[in-house]
């Protein structure tokens, strides 16, 4: 069994051109940045070997019968995404509560900015 642990991106620095909630140029958007947690996916490689891969929760998603995870960046700083068919995945563990907190914070921030 191979174990691969990657943390392909460090935290991004504040963007000086970020949107502002109150419309002024000196008040940046202040969304809480809770710990997103980690996700572990265990799957079979094409050669039959079982692999365990750990990523940040924000770098893994299930879409169109595939688990997709960010495995790093290429030489031009583009994201490299691995698509794994659901049939090859044994299980995925993730800290859903922390992930849900982040989603809730993003939704709340959008509600404050949009006339709903």
Q: Is the pLDDT of residue 29 over 90?
A: no
**Which of 2-16, 56-70, 71-85 has the weakest average pLDDT?**
2-16
Greater confidence (37 vs 11) lies with 37
DSSP 109: H
Q: What dihedral angle (degrees, nearest 10) is formed by the CA atoms of 23, 27, 28, 31?
A: -100
Q: Is the pLDDT of residue 97 over 50?
A: yes
pTM of the model: 0.54
Q: Is the pLDDT of residue 63 over 60?
A: yes
Classify 59 as helix, strand or coil.
helix
pLDDT digits (tens, 9 = 90+) for 5-24: 444 443 333 444 444 344 44
Average pLDDT over residues 73-91: 96
Greater confidence (82 vs 31) lies with 82
Q: Is the pLDDT of residue 43 over 70?
A: yes
Strands of 1-116 (E only): list them: 2-5, 38-44, 50-56, 60-63, 66-73, 79-85, 89-94
């Amino acid at each position: 069994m191979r174990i691969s642990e990657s943390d392909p991106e460090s935290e991004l620095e504040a963007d000086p051109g970020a949107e502002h909630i109150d419309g002024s140029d000196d008040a940046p958007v202040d969304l809480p940045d809770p710990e997103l947690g980690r996700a572990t996916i265990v799957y079979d490689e094409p050669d039959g070997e079982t692999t365990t891969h750990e990523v940040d929760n924000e770098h893994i998603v299930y879409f169109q019968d595939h688990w997709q995870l960010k495995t790093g960046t290429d030489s031009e700083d583009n994201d490299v995404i691995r698509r794994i068919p659901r049939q090859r995945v044994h299980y995925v563990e993730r800290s859903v509560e922390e992930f849900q907190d982040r989603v809730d914070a993003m939704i709340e921030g959008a509600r404050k900015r949009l006339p709903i």
